[in-house]
Structure 1
Amino acid sequence: MRVPAYLLRHRVTVEPYLGDGAYGPQYGPPVTDVPALVAAANRMQRAADGREVLSTTTVITAPDLICPPGSRLTLPGGRTTTAITTADHSAPGLPVPACTEVSCE
């Protein structure tokens, strides 16, 4: 079971992080008009390098989103942010919706 589409009221743009190049971070082609639920809430997150980072926004999307940490997201208000962590939530056989949760700076 997937997160119901009627709950994903916002639209975001995701530029997947590909790695660092000679001139800085490299991003894949932007994926536009991604249905999402965007919530502004401050939470402490542990980044991939072990740092504790304040996450100011959480984005919930369908479970097939490709958004590795370091990806660039453009939120509905036009603010651009960076993904700190990405978590895939699923519970096969249970009546709970599967989704992808992205914590952003």
Structure 2
Amino acid sequence: MKVPAALLRHRVTIEPYRGDSAYGPIYDPPVVDVRALVAHTVKQIRASDGREVVSTAQVITLPGLDCPPGSRVTLPDGRVTTAISTADHTAPGLPVPACTEVMTE
């Protein structure tokens, strides 16, 4: 079961991070109009490299979103931020909706 589309009231744009080059970060073309639920909450989280960082927005989307840490995320208010961590939440066999959660700077 996926998170109900009716709950995903916001639209975000994702530019998936692919690595660094001699000229800076490399991103895939933007994926626009991604349905999401955005919560502007301040939370202290642990980044993939072990650092403790502050997240200022939590983005919930349908499962399977391609948004590795370092990706650029444009929030509904126009603010461009960076993905700190991405987590896929599933519970096979349970009546709990599957989703992808992205924590951003």
Which stretches of structure 1, 4 residues or more, deviate above 3 A after TM superposition? none
Deviation of 1:48 after TM superposition, in Å, equals 1.6
Gaps of 5+ in 1: none
**Equivalent in the alignment of 1:98:** 98
Deviations 1:51-100 (A, max 9, x none): 11100000000002100000000000100000000000000110000000
The 5-angstrom pairing of residues 22-101 of structure 1 reads: 22-101=22-101
**Across the two proteins, how many residue pairs are aligned to each other?**
105
Of all paired residues, the percent bearing the same amino acid is: 72
TM-score normalised to structure 2 length: 0.98
Gaps of 5+ in 2: none
TM-score normalised to structure 1 length: 0.98
**Equivalent in the alignment of 1:12:** 12
RMSD of aligned residue pairs (Cα, Å) = 0.5
Amino acid in structure 2 at the alignment position of 1:97: P
